[in-house]
């Protein structure tokens, strides 16, 4: 069954932004150029990516998720990453408590009973068909909400989706009657959502997007230069994500239950395990908001009801190794980009798991003061991390909805994928008040090309002939060691003990602060690109320098005195 049909004419489109995750999906639209995430008929904005069949009836989202306890065999979950993949290359870890993926001629399928009746034949459905059915429901909810049929969408994808995965997603959407206007990468969608805010200042910056989901964590380092986004590095992890945090709580409460009722491990029975998981996830989410949360399951195992509570500190302690995994992933991505944490202007926390306050607090301590950490627990104006990508996709969709399909590819792909860029900065040498030569950046490192930037620099006080030196610049990290303190044997011993004490790890930074060395980013003057002499500059005058870097990385420099005619121009 396919809703496939001719693509609509640009003027007839009704567009949305879509995120389609392994754990959850979201729909967004724009109203007066502002993006908003739409709730489905259940009132959910984070819609579980799950389909379930009961007596031939199809359920999706939270309703399907509820069936993981009573009807796991006919419930399909965690399938997005299987699209466009061969069976032998998938990881079915997360599918053990729902329909299992199956090898059908090397591709991934699921066998479920999706028809009514006692003796209904089971159907074997490809992951493409499952995705089509799920997307059809998602888009159906969007059409209901908007009161008109949604025709087209911008869909977000992970940065490591290959061509086959992209093609499979476009085909699955097309099967659901959806024209895919564009696939944009998840981190860029998140950056777009922030940059579209009216108060956003669009300036050149390095942004780290930490997208922490349910089954995977993806960290991307993005250079934003003059409105162009360049992906500098990515890091992926399939171990440290929301499901690992659920597992920590599942083990915690299972052990508590076992202590009280020896011999009844809820992890040993499929239904008990499903209940344990469901409630642990709810408890985990509650701990993002409050410092205490309850856990309560009717008939958890052997018919015994179970209720307990946990506080946030205890949770953070038992989840410490998972939480530290996120830190390492972020640090490794920054390193892969050849950058230092001091180079990072913004860290955007995206994905459901990014609601966890401890994660944002840990990132706060990795990055310097000057880095903006955009998460709900650190920045009151932060955008809901679960909504960022859908919002970015909706903004992009409204931007390109008037384009002809073939123009979209050409005009917008470059803006959101890796484009050629310069490595070092280009700028001028200026003389500081203390008489030292300093580098003034004009074009920041990692700027996508072609690019053109202009600055005005004051000429020496008395004017006259001015020599403008255009040079490359790069940053290095200057480390200033603190004055050695008098050694204090006692406090040292105390610190070693502290480090072993689980609950105290959050205080480590404060106690170390005084002894920490000072690290700062300083410019180093590199090789000379050009020199231009401007004669007879007026007293108190200014010199304007324009640097244009062409697509082939050739540089054109123009210098002139502000307010004067003519100037010096040279190709390098
Ligand atoms: P993936 O593709 O990695 O499986 P996703 O992109 O589909 O994930 P997200 O919605 O980004 O899904 O993340 C889902 C995860 O976020 C789940 O583990 C969920 O429990 C967790 N989560 C959602 N809300 C919160 C919250 N408020 N606090 C903590 N965790 C949360
Ligand atoms: Mg995701």
Report which ligand 1 atom has the smallest distance to the Cα of 94: 4
Q: Compute the distance from residue 231 Cα to the ligand 1 centre, in Å.
A: 24
User: Which residue's CA lies nearest to atom 16 of ligand 1?
Assistant: 352
Helix-strand-coil percent breakdown of the chain, rounded to 5? 35, 35, 30
Q: Which residues of 410-431 are buried (b: 16+ CB within 10 A; e: fewer)?
A: eebeebbeebebbebbbbbbee
- Establish if 355 belongs to a structural domain: yes
Q: For residue 506, give both structure tokens.
A: 């959050």
Q: Are residues 444 and 531 in the same domain?
A: yes
Q: Are residues 438 and 368 in the same domain?
A: no
Q: Which of 320, 342, 366 is the last residue of a domain?
A: 320
Whether ligand 1 lies within 6 angstroms of the CB of 158 is answered as no
Q: Which of 305, 320, 335 is the last residue of a domain?
A: 320
Q: Are residues 49 and 110 in the same domain?
A: yes
Alpha carbons within 13 angstroms on the beta-carbon side of residue 347 total 33
Q: Compute the distance from residue 436 Cα to the ligand 2 centre, in Å.
A: 49
CA dist 51 and 143 (Å) reads 19
Q: Are residues 208 and 249 in the same domain?
A: no
Q: How far apart are the first and last CA of the chain?
A: 60
Residue in 146, 151, 150 with CA at minimum distance from that of residue 7: 151
CATH number, residue 355: 3.30.420.40
Q: What is the pLDDT of residue 438?
A: 86
Tens digit of pLDDT per residue, the chain (572 long)?
A: 555 567 888 889 999 999 999 999 999 999 998 999 999 999 999 999 999 999 999 999 999 999 999 999 999 999 999 999 999 999 999 999 999 999 999 999 999 999 998 888 999 999 999 999 999 999 999 999 999 999 999 999 999 999 999 999 999 999 999 999 999 999 999 999 999 998 888 788 999 999 999 999 999 999 998 778 889 999 999 999 999 999 999 999 999 999 999 999 999 999 999 999 999 999 999 999 999 999 999 999 999 999 999 999 999 999 999 999 999 999 999 999 999 999 999 999 999 999 999 999 999 999 999 999 999 999 999 999 999 999 999 999 999 998 887 777 654 443 444 556 787 899 988 877 777 888 988 998 878 778 889 888 888 777 788 888 889 988 887 888 877 665 554 444 444 444 344 444 444 444 445 567 888 888 888 888 888 888 888 888 888 899 998 888 888 888 888 887 666 666 65
Q: Are residues 337 and 446 in the same domain?
A: no
- Establish if 247 belongs to a structural domain: yes
Q: Are residues 209 and 354 in the same domain?
A: yes
Q: Compute the distance from residue 279 Cα to the ligand 1 centre, in Å.
A: 15
Q: Are residues 298 and 396 in the same domain?
A: no
Whether ligand 1 lies within 6 angstroms of the CB of 392 is answered as no
Whether ligand 1 lies within 6 angstroms of the CB of 385 is answered as no
Whether ligand 1 lies within 6 angstroms of the CB of 193 is answered as no
- Establish if 146 belongs to a structural domain: yes
Q: Are residues 182 and 296 in the same domain?
A: no
Q: Compute the distance from residue 19 Cα to the ligand 1 centre, in Å.
A: 12
Whether ligand 1 lies within 6 angstroms of the CB of 362 is answered as no
Q: What is the pLDDT of residue 570?
A: 64
Q: Compute the distance from residue 328 Cα to the ligand 1 centre, in Å.
A: 19
Other Cβ atoms closer than 10 A to 94:
19
Contact 287, 293 (CB under 8 A): yes
- Establish if 385 belongs to a structural domain: no
Ligand nearest, relative to CA of residue 246: 1
Q: For residue 316, give both structure tokens.
A: 């953070």
Whether ligand 1 lies within 6 angstroms of the CB of 187 is answered as no
Cα distances (Å, whole numbers) of residue 465 to 207, 435, 460: 41, 18, 9
- Establish if 466 belongs to a structural domain: yes
How many folded domains does the chain comprise? 4
Mutate to test the pocket of ligand 1, among 18, 22, 24 (most ligand atoms within 8 A of CB): 24
Q: Are residues 24 and 150 in the same domain?
A: yes
- Establish if 151 belongs to a structural domain: yes
CA dist 159 and 50 (Å) reads 23
CA dist 287 and 546 (Å) reads 52
- Establish if 103 belongs to a structural domain: yes
Residue in 274, 389, 272 with CA at minimum distance from that of residue 17: 389
- Establish if 501 belongs to a structural domain: no
Whether ligand 1 lies within 6 angstroms of the CB of 386 is answered as yes
Ligand nearest, relative to CA of residue 286: 1
Q: Are residues 89 and 118 in the same domain?
A: yes
Whether ligand 1 lies within 6 angstroms of the CB of 216 is answered as yes
Q: Compute the distance from residue 211 Cα to the ligand 2 centre, in Å.
A: 6
Let me know if 219 is exposed, middle or buried by CB neighbors in 10 A (0-12, 13-18, 19+): buried
Q: Which domain holds residue 300?
A: 242-320
Q: Compute the distance from residue 21 Cα to the ligand 2 centre, in Å.
A: 5
Mutate to test the pocket of ligand 1, among 237, 351, 390 (most ligand atoms within 8 A of CB): 351
Q: Compute the distance from residue 338 Cα to the ligand 1 centre, in Å.
A: 29
Q: Furthest-apart CA pair in the chain: how many Å?
A: 96
Q: Are residues 333 and 434 in the same domain?
A: no
Its ipTM equals 0.99
Distinct helix (H) and strand (E) counts, the chain = 13, 27
CA dist 59 and 52 (Å) reads 5
Whether ligand 1 lies within 6 angstroms of the CB of 241 is answered as yes
Q: Are residues 91 and 16 in the same domain?
A: yes
Q: Compute the distance from residue 62 Cα to the ligand 1 centre, in Å.
A: 13
CATH number, residue 282: 3.90.640.10
CATH number, residue 431: 2.60.34.10
């Amino acid at each position: 069954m396919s809703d496939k049909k001719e693509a609509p004419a640009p003027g007839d489109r009704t567009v949305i932004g879509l995120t389609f995750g392994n754990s959850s999906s979201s729909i967004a639209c724009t109203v007066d150029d502002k993006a908003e995430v739409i709730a489905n008929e259940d009132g959910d904005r984070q819609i579980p990516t799950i389909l379930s069949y009961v007596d031939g009836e199809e359920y999706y989202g939270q309703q399907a998720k509820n069936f993981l306890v009573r009807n796991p065999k006919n419930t399909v979950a965690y399938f997005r990453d299987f699209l466009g993949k061969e069976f032998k290359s998938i990881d079915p870890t997360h599918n053990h408590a729902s329909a299992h993926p199956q090898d059908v001629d090397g591709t991934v399928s699921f066998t479920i009973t999706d028809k009514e009746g006692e003796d209904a034949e089971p159907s074997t459905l490809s992951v493409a068909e499952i995705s089509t059915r799920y997307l059809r429901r998602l888009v159906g909810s969007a059409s209901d909400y908007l009161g008109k049929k949604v025709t087209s969408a911008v869909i977000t994808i992970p940065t490591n989706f290959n061509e086959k995965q992209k093609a499979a997603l476009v085909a699955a959407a097309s099967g659901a009657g959806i024209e895919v206007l564009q696939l944009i990468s998840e981190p860029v969608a998140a950056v777009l959502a922030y940059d579209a805010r009216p108060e956003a200042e669009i300036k050149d910056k390095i942004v780290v997007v930490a997208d922490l989901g349910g089954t995977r964590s993806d960290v991307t380092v993005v250079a934003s230069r003059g409105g162009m986004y360049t992906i500098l590095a990515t890091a992926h992890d399939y171990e440290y994500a929301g499901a690992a945090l659920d597992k920590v709580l599942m083990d915690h409460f299972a052990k508590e239950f076992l202590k009280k009722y020896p011999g009844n491990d809820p992890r040993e029975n499929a239904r008990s395990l499903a209940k344990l998981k469901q409630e642990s996830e709810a408890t985990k989410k509650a701990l993002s908001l409050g410092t205490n949360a309850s856990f309560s399951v009717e008939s958890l195992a052997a018919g015994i009801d179970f209720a307990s509570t946990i506080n946030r500190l205890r949770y953070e302690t038992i989840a410490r190794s998972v939480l530290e995994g996120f830190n390492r992933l972020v640090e490794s991505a920054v390193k892969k980009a050849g950058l230092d944490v001091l180079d990072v202007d913004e860290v955007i926390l995206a994905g459901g798991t990014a609601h966890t306050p401890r994660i944002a607090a840990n990132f706060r301590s990795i990055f310097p003061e000057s880095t903006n950490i955009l998460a709900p627990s650190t920045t009151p104006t932060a955008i809901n991390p679960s909504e960022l990508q859908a919002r970015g996709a909706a903004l992009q969709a409204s931007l390109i909805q008037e384009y002809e399909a073939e123009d979209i590819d050409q005009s917008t792909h470059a803006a959101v994928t890796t484009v050629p860029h310069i490595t070092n900065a280009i700028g001028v040498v200026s003389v500081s008040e203390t008489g030292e030569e300093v580098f003034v950046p004009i074009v920041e490192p990692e700027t996508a090309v072609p690019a053109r930037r202009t600055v005005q620099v004051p000429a020496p006080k008395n004017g006259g002939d001015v020599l403008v030196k255009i040079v490359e610049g790069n940053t290095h990290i200057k480390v200033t060691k603190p004055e050695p303190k008098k050694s204090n044997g006692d406090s040292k011993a105390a610190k070693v003990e502290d480090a072993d004490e689980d609950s105290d790890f959050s205080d480590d930074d404060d106690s170390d602060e005084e002894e920490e060395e000072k690290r700062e980013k300083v410019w180093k003057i590199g090789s000379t690109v050009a020199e231009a002499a401007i004669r007879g500059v007026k007293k108190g005058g200014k010199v304007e320098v324009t640097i244009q870097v062409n697509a082939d990385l050739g540089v054109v420099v123009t210098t002139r005195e502000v307010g004067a005619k003519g100037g010096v121009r040279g190709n390098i």
